Amino acid sequence: MTLPEPVADGAQALYEDDDLLVLCKPSGLLCVPGRGPDKQDCLSARAQQRWPGALVVHRLDQATSGLVLMARHIDAQRRLGHAFAERLVHKRYQAVVQGQLGTVGGDWSEIDLPIAADWERRPLRVIDHAVGKPSLTRWRALAHDATAQTTRVELEPLTGRTHQLRVHLAAIGHPILGDALYADAATQAQAPRLLLHASHLAFSHPATGTPVTLAWAEEFEENAASAPAFIAPEAIY
């Protein structure tokens, strides 16, 4: 499968059929409209211009790039929403973090730390063992960069807390490069954007039950201040 050529202010689909869309969201674009006239441009609005009636199923943070699933009609939205609620949609991410983390090719490890809202500094989240909600992230190292002292990691959130991956990695001393919320100034300055990308989605098709697996790899070109390049997209349906 090949992606269409980029369309200015448009939405790109890695996969589409009569029931659903899987869209490629660039970093910096909201998933849904925010408050104020300057925050109306978003992935859902762009999708609805091209696919009228497209409905939101889930979201990514504005700073995160990657795959976003949308429904083409209300029944598909209900079924997909139920799948997310029951944790039947499997998501994986890739990120570049500060420091040398883990052993490349090693087994999956876990970060099991409860997350709570930081009410005095909203929208920030914090690790809070007293009132935080259980939060579990699996991770493994993909590559080390000895010169930059960074690690590319694959991440699998087993719970769905706000900013979970960002909070967990910062909590173990390996914040994501370019993270304006949870990284120190030096780590923020190492990348022009948050180097976090939703790279894989796997779920059952809402109409047929057929397994659907999609992947969009990201090279994380650290000198590219705009949307990420499309690298080797794959779709298996």
Counted domains in the chain: 1
Cα 164 to Cα 137: distance, rounded to the nearest angstrom: 8
- The number of helix segments (H) and strand segments (E) in the chain equals 4, 13
| Structural domain includes residue 5 | no
**Residue-number span of the structural domain to which 199 is assigned:** 13-222+231-236
| Structural domain includes residue 7 | no
Strands (E), the chain: 13-16, 20-25, 55-56, 65-71, 90-98, 109-112, 115-117, 125-127, 136-145, 150-157, 196-204, 211-217, 231-236
| Structural domain includes residue 62 | yes
| Structural domain includes residue 8 | no
Q: Please list, in sequence order, all residues whose beta carbon lies within 8 angstroms of the beta carbon of residue 50, skipping any fewer than 6 positions away.
A: 10, 11
| Structural domain includes residue 4 | no
The CATH number of residue 140's host domain is 3.30.2350.10
The pLDDT profile of the chain, 237 residues, written as one tens digit per residue, is 334 444 445 789 999 999 999 999 999 999 998 887 777 889 999 999 999 999 999 999 999 999 999 999 999 999 999 999 999 999 999 999 999 999 999 999 999 999 999 998 988 999 999 999 999 999 999 999 999 999 999 999 999 999 999 999 999 999 999 999 999 999 999 999 999 999 999 999 999 999 999 999 887 754 333 333 333 344 444
Active centre residues (catalytic): 61
